């Protein structure tokens, strides 16, 4: 058994969180959900962190799902509470004020795919497999999978994955728009860190504005979405980073964004 279910490492402004239960393919038990929740809350509050990368320990799995052994004995009320705990975590990640990248290094099944879908961007190794296999357990997705897969990949893909429970490989996941990019497994870490670093160098308040606009726009009508975008756009003119970014362009130099 691992001592701690979550590892944390900072690489400059990029915080890497690694679900660390390799002997259980990083399955999410209640303690791991709690550790993730606390870690994301801390990363949100820490100004030195500009980007979060989330991955799983070992070469085999990102996260192979909610912990089946723990779920096996739950009562209906405990089952609902477990679902609510998972959903709260996913919502926290989705609403993070800084970009979160899922680095999918292997199986992302059930709660693992739900976790990856709550992140803002997903990069998968070509060896990864993703799916919602809860049906094989007499269950349904409980950490938001039915809702996020529907929004991300559409009704046909959501129904196919949830009803059959069959995982799809990384190439198909890309085709279904479940992941943003697929890279050779050997290059996964380097490619993910390259993207994370690029985002870490960008203007944090503008990144936050984009995250907010796209989150709000995904859930409202076009008129409200456009109005929200204009308000956020106007807000950018209150930032030092906007002055720096436009000035740097005019002076033909690289901008240095401070997050103010
Ligand atoms: N919950 C709890 N334990 C899990 C787990 C999960 N979701 N997924 C894997 N594990 C455990 C296994 O029980 C096993 O533990 P053990 O060695 O103590 O018996 C260990 O992780 C290794 O898994 P194993 O099944 O032996 O690996 P495999 O390579 O044969 O198969 C998978 C890999 C991913 C195909 C298989 O583990 C699996 O189907 N996992 C469950 C996926 C799932 O249904 N997720 C949704 C849950 S809601």
List the residue whose alpha carbon is closest to atom 13 of ligand 1: 24
- Helical pair 145-153 and 111-118, crossing angle rounded to 10 deg: 50
Length of the chain: 260
Is 251 among the residues known to form the active site?
Answer: no
Is 134 among the residues known to form the active site?
Answer: yes
Measured distance CA(135)–CA(195) in Å, rounded: 35
- Taking the CA of residue 141 as reference, the ligand 1 atom at the shortest distance is 48
User: Is 52's C-beta closer than 6 angstroms to any atom of ligand 1?
Assistant: no
Measured distance CA(140)–CA(148) in Å, rounded: 14
Q: Are 130 and 173 in contact (CB under 8 A)?
A: yes
Model confidence at 2: pLDDT above 60: no
State whether residue 236 is helix, strand or coil: helix
- pTM of this prediction? 0.97
Measured distance CA(23)–CA(45) in Å, rounded: 31
The residue written with tokens 């990864």 in the block is 128
State whether residue 51 is helix, strand or coil: strand
Choice from 5, 19, 23, 24 to test ligand 1 binding pocket (greatest atom count within 8 A of CB): 24
Between 3.60.9.10, 2.115.10.20, 3.90.226.10, 3.10.180.10, what CATH number should domain 6-200 receive? 3.90.226.10
- The CATH class for the domain spanning 204-250 reads mainly alpha
Choice from 22, 26, 32, 68 to test ligand 1 binding pocket (greatest atom count within 8 A of CB): 68
pLDDT tens by residue, 138-186: 999 999 999 999 999 999 999 999 999 999 999 999 999 999 999 999 9
pLDDT tens by residue, 212-260: 999 999 999 999 999 999 999 999 999 999 999 999 999 999 999 999 9
The pair phi, psi for residue 4, each rounded to 5°, is -120, 135
Instruction: Determine the distance from the C-alpha atom of residue 119 to the mean position of all C-alpha atoms in its chain, rounded to a whole number.
Output: 1
Both tokens assigned to 67: 């912990």
User: Is 29's C-beta closer than 6 angstroms to any atom of ligand 1?
Assistant: no
Residues of the chain with CATH 1.10.12.10: 204-250
pLDDT tens by residue, 36-70: 999 999 999 999 999 999 999 998 999 999 999 99
| Sheet containing strand 168-169, strands side by side | 61-63, 107-109, 129-131, 168-169
| The pLDDT value given to residue 26 | 98
Residues of the chain with CATH 3.90.226.10: 6-200
Both tokens assigned to 91: 């919502």
Mean pLDDT of 187-199: 98
Measured distance CA(224)–CA(215) in Å, rounded: 12
Model confidence at 201: pLDDT above 50: yes
């Amino acid at each position: 058994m691992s001592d701690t279910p979550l590892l944390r490492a900072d690489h400059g402004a990029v915080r890497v969180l690694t679900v660390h239960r390799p002997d259980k393919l990083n399955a999410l038990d209640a303690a791991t959900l709690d550790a993730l929740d606390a870690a994301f809350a801390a990363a949100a509050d820490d100004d030195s962190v500009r980007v979060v990368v989330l991955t799983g320990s070992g070469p085999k799995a990102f996260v192979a799902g909610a912990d089946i052994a723990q779920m096996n004995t739950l009562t209906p009320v405990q089952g609902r509470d477990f679902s609510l705990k998972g959903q709260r975590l996913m919502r926290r990640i989705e609403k993070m004020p800084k970009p979160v990248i899922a680095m999918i290094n292997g199986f992302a099944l059930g709660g693992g795919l739900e976790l990856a879908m709550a992140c803002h961007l997903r990069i998968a190794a070509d060896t990864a497999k993703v799916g919602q296999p809860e049906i094989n357990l007499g269950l349904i997705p409980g950490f938001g999978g039915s809702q996020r897969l529907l929004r991300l990949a559409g009704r046909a893909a959501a129904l196919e994955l949830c009803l059959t429970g069959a995982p799809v490989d990384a190439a198909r996941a890309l085709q279904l728009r479940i992941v943003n990019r697929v890279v050779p497994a050997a290059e996964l870490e380097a490619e993910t860190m390259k993207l994370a670093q690029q985002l870490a160098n960008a203007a944090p308040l503008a990144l936050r504005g984009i995250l907010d606009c796209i989150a709000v726009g995904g859930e409202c009508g076009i008129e409200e979405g456009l109005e929200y975008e204009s308000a956020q756009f106007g807000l950018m003119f209150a930032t030092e980073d906007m002055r720096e970014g436009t000035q740097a362009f005019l002076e033909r130099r690289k901008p240095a964004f401070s997050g103010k």
